[in-house]
Structure 1
Amino acid sequence: MKWSEICIHTTNEAIEPISNILHETGASGLVIEDPLDLVKVRENVYGEIYDLDPNEYPVEGVRIKAYLPMNSFLSETVNQIKISINNLMTYDIDLGTNQVSLSEVNEEEWATAWKKYYKPVKISKKITITPTWEDYTPLSSDEIIIELDPGMAFGTGTHPTTVLSIQALEEYLTENDHVIDVGCGSGVLSIAAAKLGAKEIFAYDLDEVAVESTKFNAEVNKLDQQIVVEQNNLLNNVNKKADIIVSNILAEIIVQFVDDAWDNLVDGGLFITSGIIQTKKQLVKDKLIQQGFEIIAVNEMEDWISFVAKKN
């Protein structure tokens, strides 16, 4: 399929309203090229790589890019976007140069362009995540390497919520533990659990793409015999006894299966939850305590929260 990239050269002030216009128009994907990102101070806790090319950024102002399908309505859609953007001036929003340009993009190139920004990342004391297409030499003999190709599934392994989950697994998982991964995405948490010594992992996700992605990544890491992957809605109709249940999903989803997590844990088992934004912290905490869990650890990274709760 052919796509058209619409590029608007504008100002920082106009980023939010123009982004909203593009979303309402039905644009798929949004890219913001802001030269301020080149000088932004970033945390470098575990050796993250921020490989930004100044040549891809405007000297001044920002470029907002969105992607529209090339069909018979394209010209009409672009004209409507231009009119809506120009109308922002009635609200005294500075549009800067307000240049709009179009270029053709091949879908295959677009779908894989992100790979050049995905580099090996050390996310905990022991674990480094590296994309399957990158050559990486371990820095020490005890370094654990996870090879990952997220494909179309959520989870490159570098998001704070994933990092928090893996750090909790590294601290609390013991050899031969049985683990359940709820909402496995690309399978990164299941693979981390296996490499940290878990005996058996059951990975569940409702999304068929995620299930296939987890199966693929388990095979790449030669762990497909340890990791059992199934399509399932959370823990519905699951009846197992796990030492650890780990779930990196949204807070609103976590609270829906706290009781099922309790039922599927051994006495003394741990429920590791992540994907919780600060504003939803109390919601999850209250639900865990109400169920009978003892919260033994609360970890934070940026705006995200992770709980480690024990079934007493």
Structure 2
Amino acid sequence: MKWSELSIHTTNEAIEPISNILHEAGASGVVIEDPSDLLQERDTSFGEIYELNPDDYPEEGVMLKAYLPMNSFLGETVDEIKQAVNNLLIYDIDLGVNQISLSEVNEEEWATAWKKYYKPVKISERVTITPTWEDYSPVSSDELIIELDPGMAFGTGTHPTTVLSIQALERYIKNGYHVIDVGSGSGVLSIASILLGAKKVDAYDLDDIAVKSTRLNAKLNKVDNKISSKQNNLLNNVNQQVDIIVSNILAEIIMRFEQDAFDCLKSGGFFITSGIILAKKEQVKEALISAGFEIIEVNQMEDWISIIAKKQ
């Protein structure tokens, strides 16, 4: 079978929503080429993910690459992707160059092209994320390993927004906690919550692909008996109080359900938010405070912000 490589030249801010659009369109994996990765000093003890070729990266912005089968519907699919990406402007998302191009690749190239970007990565004091096809052994007795199959939805789990979320979960989860994951995507935050000591996670996502991906990855990590993955619009019709709500999602979406999050938390519970670009930090903080939260942490990685709020 022949495949088409769809390249979208955009911005860091648009990575998550465009990745979502690409997966919904049937893309089997998304590659993110961010030139800032070339400038970072990294620990190289976890594999070839850091052996990066500058020629593969744009001079500015980021390049998203997805792989679609070349069939009679390809033209319609690409048009739908273009329209969905342009619709992101409604949410004040900066699309940058917003240039889309197509090139042909054969099946063998497609099968390996995106996997070369994904190797085991230690993203917090205790958590390491590794793809299912890598043979990885823990380097310490307390290391927690999350295996992910990123082929279905939402990336590899190593984006700064995910890293910030897991680092926050590591600090605030206590044994026996009940967690809600809003916008679960691949399920990586749900899985991390269980490995870090939570007794139960309710994972919600509006996208059925994400629900299936969360279930798949929960089963891969043998925690599917503790994670309930359901299709739901944010916290609509959720009538329970839990210890932690975590949401790695766009700032605009966080500000749609901050009051619901407050109502669904126990007294003293934590709302861990991520996916916030630097320019939207103050807006999200103000929305959380207006809902009744106390801001207890604001953390930054590259141009991304994570805010941890507490219900007093």
| Normalised-by-shorter TM-score class | 0.7 to 0.9
Q: Describe the SS at the equivalent of 2:184.
A: coil
Tell me if structure 2 keeps the 8 A contact 1:181–1:202. yes
Match of 1:44 among 5, 20, 42: 42
Q: Per-residue displacement from partner, 1:23-47 (whole Å, max 9, x unpaired)?
A: xxxx99998999xx69942132696
Cα shift at 1:124:
0.3
1:157 shift after superposition: 1.1
Q: How big is the shift at 1:283?
A: 1.2
Match status 1:308 vs 2:308: yes
Residue 66 of structure 1, CA deviation:
9.1
TM-score (norm 1): 0.74
Look at both structures and tell me which one has the larger radius of gyration over its CA atoms: 1
> Aligned with 1:295: secondary structure?
strand
Q: Spell out, residue by residue over 1:60-94, the C-alpha distance to the aligned partner (whole angstroms, 9 max, x if none).
A: xxxx99989566999xxxxxxxxxxxxxxxxxxxx
Distance in 1 (CA, whole Å) between partners of 2:162 and 2:67 is: 28
Contact 1:47 1:121 (C-alpha < 8 Å) held by counterparts: no
Structure 2: gaps spanning 5 or more residues: 11-21, 58-62, 76-101
Shift of 1:241: 1.2
How far off is 1:150 after superposition?
1.9
Corresponding position of 1:200: 200
Q: What is the aligned-residue RMSD (CA, Å)?
A: 3.6
Mapped to 1, the partners of 2:253 and 2:32 lie a distance apart of 30
How many Å apart are 1:50 and its aligned residue? 1.5
Match of 1:21 in 2: none
Residues 38 and 192 (structure 1), Cα distance of their counterparts in 2 relative to 1, 3 Å cut? closer
State the Cα deviation string for residues 224-279 of structure 1 (Å, max 9, x = none): 11111101111000111110000000000000011110111000100000000001
| TM-score, normalised by the number of residues in structure 2 | 0.74
Count of residue pairs brought into register by the alignment: 262
Q: Does 1:110 align with 2:110?
A: yes
How far the C-alpha of 1:151 sits from its partner, in A, is 1.9
- 1:105 is displaced (CA, Å) by 2.2
Q: Partners in 2 of 1:72 and 1:246 — Cα distance?
A: 38
Structure-2 residue corresponding to 1:191: 191
Pair 1:289–1:104, CA change in 2 (3 A): closer
1:288 deviates by 0.2
Moved more, 108-117 or 165-174: 108-117
Aligned 8 A contact 2:247 2:272 in 1: yes
- Give the match for residue 258 of structure 1: 258
Correspondence list, 1:62-211, <5 A:
69=70, 104-106=104-106, 110=110, 113-211=113-211
Q: Is the 8 A contact 1:288 1:309 kept in 2?
A: yes
Matching residue's letter, 2:39: V
- Taking a change above 3 Å as real, the CA distance of residues 236 and 52 of structure 1, as seen in their structure-2 partners, is same
**SS of residue matched to 2:50:** coil
Q: Give structure 1 stretches of 5+ with no counterpart.
A: 8-14, 17-26, 59-63, 75-101
Q: Label 1:126 to 1:66 Cα distance change in 2 as closer, same or farther (>3 A).
A: closer
Distance 1:190 1:211 in 2: 12
* Superposition deviation, residue 129 in structure 1: 0.4
Tell me, in whole angstroms, the C-alpha distance in 2 between the residues paired with 1:191 and 1:230.
15
Residue 200 of structure 2 aligns with an amino acid whose one-letter code is: E
What letter matches 1:241 in structure 2? Q
